[in-house]
Structure 1
Amino acid sequence: MSSASRRRFFEELKRNIVTPTTELNYDNHYQLLVAVVLSAQATDKSVNAATERLFASVNVPADMLVLGEEKLISYISKIGLFRSKARYVMALSEILQVKYDGTVPRTREELEALPGVGRKTANVMLNTAFGEATIAVDTHIFRVANRTGLAPGKNVRAVEDKLNVVVPKSYKQNAHHWLILHGRYVCKARKPMCTECTVRRWCVFPSKTL
């Protein structure tokens, strides 16, 4: 995809959704961090169903520590990998409470040092919570970037690095959410909705339906 096509690609995504954001529900940075950790290999819908009840009583790390791991499990037991995620959430909550006075740190190094927080989760927090122009590459973005020719790469880090180079600066802040939503609802894994896709004219997917 040419640089001109990439700009038109994002112009169209912006025309469809002017200010995209995450579909995870949260009220503060801590709740967002917990939700993102829970969302690994799970749908936002399933996470929101669990956190609707959880966040009614857990607002800050101290609340989670009072709740305890077993009670947390009772809230998130329908989410994949819930036991390991519960351990991560309890461990990171303790660190946030003890080391950061209950707040979420805002540097990549500090975020990635937290249990259960890898590069993708750190990128989500830096972008959505702290307004940095980072791009967290999940399965949706990886698929869209490769299928459309936007930023092809053999692994998520390669795609992230390529996107950071080729996405026009004026679109980089929201690129993460535009691409996720496009992959989730239009450029689907098994049955991409090419005939309904508004950016198909710039897409190089050889099997697209025009």
Structure 2
Amino acid sequence: MARMESKNKKLGGSSEAKNALVERAGKALAILKRLYPCHGTALKHGSVFQLSVAVILSAQCTDAMVNIVARELFKKLKSPEDFAAVPQGELEKLIYSTGFYRAKAKNLRAMAKALLEKHDGTVPKTMGELVKLHGIGRKTANIILSEGYGIAEGIAVDTHVKRLSVRLGFSRGKTPERIERDLMALLPKKDWGEVNGLLIMHGRGVCTARKPKCAECVLNRICPSAFMF
């Protein structure tokens, strides 16, 4: 019985009232905001279009490597026109170090052409339009909207957000879509754009996948998974 109660508590189940869970989620976010006052995307960019390119390159690649590649890439290719015109093979060489370079090059060229043909060369400002572009899914669209336009339409869920959301008991979800819905139900819309950056920073530095540093964690008093690893 004790084990079952512990499991329910960990997952934010019926033993924890919804209002208490909302309060705990808000408290956790407030603590992380104080700990990480600068928590925007680590991807370097000078425009919303460059941000869109960077998030496509970031799939299965570290932000640090994307920034290294993008620094040289944006010296040669600066606009949708440039990306639409560059030969596939040349673009592959420029982004090779980010991995999956053939698919990424294909998506970047197709995205740039779509922007020119359907959006006057401008990155759209709605989720519906963004996810129709090659290489952009809901997670990357959320980042573009939040970081590029200051629009909160959802919460970008990556591996760090998924891991911390489950450990903190904010979601039982197995998919990014379910976890996003759970987080959106717990947190006010004005905070949605900050969740990804905050949980990424905490996930990288403290709540790591293996051997999380629970003793050092500022959330260990309100985290149902603390010291369970």
Class of the TM-score when normalised by the shorter of the 2 chains = over 0.9
Secondary structure of the residue aligned to 1:121 is helix
Does residue 83 of the first structure (1) align with residue 102 of the second (2)?
Answer: yes
**Which runs of structure 2 are paired with 1:1-210 in the superposition (5 Å)?**
2-133=21-152, 134-205=154-225, 207-208=227-228
Change in CA separation of 1:179 and 1:189 when aligned onto 2, cut-off 3 Å? same
Normalising by the residue count of structure 2, what TM-score does the alignment of the two structures yield? Answer: 0.85
Supply the distance in 2 between the matched residues of 1:13 and 1:78 (Cα, whole angstroms). 33
Deviation at 1:36, TM superposition (A): 0.4
Between the aligned partners of 2:213 and 2:68, the Cα distance in structure 1 is 27
Q: What is the CA-CA distance between 1:202 and the residue it aligns to?
A: 1.1
Question: Which protein shows a greater Rg?
Answer: 2
CA displacement 1:138-197 (0-9 Å, x = unmatched): 111000100121233121111000000002445333122111221122211112121221
Q: Is the 8 A contact 1:19 1:174 kept in 2?
A: no
Letter in 2 for 1:151: S
Superposed CA RMSD in Å reads 1.6
Shift of 1:204: 0.9
**How far 1:39 sits from its partner (Å)?**
0.8
The 8 Å contact of residues 131 and 137 in structure 2, kept in 1 or not, is answered as: yes
TM-score by length of 1: 0.93
Gaps of 5+ in 2: 1-11, 13-20
> Does the CA-based 8 Å contact 2:220-2:226 persist in structure 1?
no
Q: Using a 3 Å threshold, how does the CA distance of structure 1 residues 97 and 141 change in structure 2: closer, same or farther? A: same
Count of matched residue pairs: 209
Q: Deviations over 1:96-148 (max 9, x none)?
A: 12222211011111111111111111111111112122211011100010012
Q: Distance in 1 between matches of 2:102 and 2:199?
A: 30
| 8 Å contact kept, 2:214–2:226 | no
CA distance in 2, matches of 1:198, 1:186: 9
